[in-house]
Structure 1
Amino acid sequence: MVGNYIDFGALENVNEGELKAQLDEAININIDSKLLDVFKNDLVNAKRLVYFTDNCGEIVTDKLLISTLRDVNPNLHITVIVRGKPVLNDATLEDAKYIHMEDVAQKVLGNGTGLPGNVVGVISKESMDEVENADLLISKGQGNYEGLSGCGLNIYYLFLCKCGMFMRRFGVEQFTGIMARENNKK
């Protein structure tokens, strides 16, 4: 969640000192223990995971998280989906290749669009095939939450609340870490 701070598209200035403070405080992010237990159970039992990325700087922390997920479930097939075309500061295939995302994921795909978020039914057929075959999905960032919320899939959202709309929606202060799960799972 803290990696979501690295967002030049939402913030005028990404402050290195604030990022360090966010990283230092990450251990104190309050995650509902029941939700975390459900997530852990889903992770251990999943065969295929789709991981929707957000910002280009943030994918470095995504790679660390994906590596940890692989430690928990070494047999998990992980597909990472980045933007298909440059938009704002969102991660692209070029960014994923630069950090060697393929070292932790079996597949890295562009979503075929230049939208600032992923939307089921709008992304490429290849990406939709991965989504439809996944047991578990993880979505990073507010833009992906906006595009995917209500899709009915087994999806977990991870992000920092950065704008007033999200702060009001979740009843939290700015830069609060959020882990949420799709409420209408099929």
Structure 2
Amino acid sequence: MKVVLECIPCYMKQVINAVAQTECSEEKARQIMYQILPMIPELDSEETPAVNSTFVLRKINELLEIEDPFKDAKRKSNELALSLVPQLRERINQSEDPLYTACQISVAGNIIDLGIFSDYDLEATLQESLAKRFFRDDSEEFKERLCSAHEVLILGDNSGEIAFDKLLAEELRRRGVRVRFVVKGQSILNDATLEDAALVGMGEVAEVMTNGNGYLGTVVQARSQELIEAMEQADLIISKGQANYESLESTQEAGDKTYFLLRAKCEIVAKNLGVDLGSMVFARNRNE
């Protein structure tokens, strides 16, 4: 998915949201904004929004002189999500279709996107997600293919959300498949890292690995050799969130074994998916 003109305001919103995580003065925040603005024309219009946003976010961190301005927000989102896990696990266990319910819960956590939303109501989003079905829904096809699968790779997205992803990994494990879970190799935005995976206990149900870099999404050319091999080896891939969709949709590397699990929080992503803004999606990659 290539950038479009409408991506430009989103870059600036990311500046505002990142600065809001700190005790930065209004004057310094204004100066940071002014220093980011000249970068915008230099961003590659042939790249994905995920790649260009990464460059903007790295520059913000440099100007703030903070390695991870979202550190505290990530901790809070993990703690909130973990507090909800017991009741959600029970909801899955009582469901007529536990895997589908686990996917609904997993995608609800996708609302924790501090690059787009400065605030969110996780519990309300959970109730909404559990009451709706996926707008684009290839879950039945996924379940059929899962019957003959040996290994599923999950490309993780945000902190907080990762606690719900653990419930999905648990449900996949019940079906006898090996689960591997991918986090970021370096801090970027509020994306999940090894620290977040350890906090939610992801290692109890899945083999945790990093993508080897600090880009948003899964940038094909930036993948570690370990991730390249893991994607090739997996029978099925679940790709969480918008940034992973932006960087992998229609690619041969994702192939037809990749399923995108996300909420369309951006009008451009929604249009690309052919769904309404805010829709939940469980859609197989088409790499035509």
**Matched position secondary structure for 1:108:** strand
Preserved contact between residue 121 and residue 128 of structure 1 (Cα < 8 Å): no
Taking the aligned partners of 2:151 and 2:140, their CA distance within structure 1 comes to 19
Match of 2:192 in 1: 91
Runs of at least 5 residues in structure 2 that lack an aligned partner in the other structure: 1-106
C-alpha deviation, 1:27, in angstroms: 2.7
Instruction: Tell which deviates more after alignment, 165-174 or 42-51.
Output: 165-174
- Give the aligned residue type for 1:140: K
Of residues 114, 118, 121, the one that matches 1:8 is 114
Percent of aligned pairs with the same amino acid: 39
> Which residue matches 1:168?
271
Check 1:173–1:20 CA distance in 2 against 1; reply closer, same or farther (3 A cut): farther
What is residue 126 of structure 2 aligned with on the other side?
Answer: 23
Name the amino acid aligned to 2:188: V
Counterpart CA distance in 1 for 2:287 and 2:273 is 18
For 1:140-155, what aligned pairs fall within 5 Å after superposition?
140-152=240-252, 153=255, 154-155=257-258
1:179 and 1:33 map into 2 onto residues whose CA distance is 6
Structure having the larger proportion of residues in strand: 1
Structure-1 separation of matches of 2:274 and 2:144:
27
Q: Over alpha carbons, which structure has the higher Rg?
A: 2
Counterpart AA for 1:88 = L
How far, CA to CA, are the matches of 1:162 and 1:33 in structure 2? 15
1:180 corresponds to which residue?
Answer: 283
In 1, distance between residues paired with 2:136 and 2:276? 20
Count of aligned pairs? 179
Is the alpha carbon distance of 1:11 and 1:166 closer, same or farther for their aligned partners in structure 2, counting shifts above 3 Å?
same
Query: How big is the shift at 1:33?
Result: 8.9
Task: Give the C-alpha shift of residue 101 in structure 1.
Answer: 0.4
Tell me the C-alpha RMSD between the 2 structures. 1.8
Question: Structure 1: how far apart are the matches of 2:215 and 2:229?
Answer: 19
Task: Name the SS of the counterpart of 1:109 in structure 2.
Answer: strand
Q: Quote the offset at 1:32 in angstroms.
A: 6.6
TM-score (norm 1): 0.89
Pair 34,8 (structure 1): closer, same or farther in 2 beyond 3 Å = closer
Matches within 5 A, 1:9-158: 9-14=115-120, 16=121, 19-31=122-134, 35-71=138-174, 73-74=175-176, 76-105=177-206, 107-152=207-252, 153=255, 154-158=257-261
1:151 Cα deviation after fit:
2.4
Q: For CA contacts below 8 A with separation 6 or more, give which structure has more relative contact order.
A: 1
Return 5+ residue gaps in structure 1 as ranges: none
Contact 1:157 1:181 in 2 (8 A): yes
Which residue identity is paired with 1:161? A
What is the SS of the residue equivalent to 2:278?
coil
Structure with the bigger percentage of helix: 2
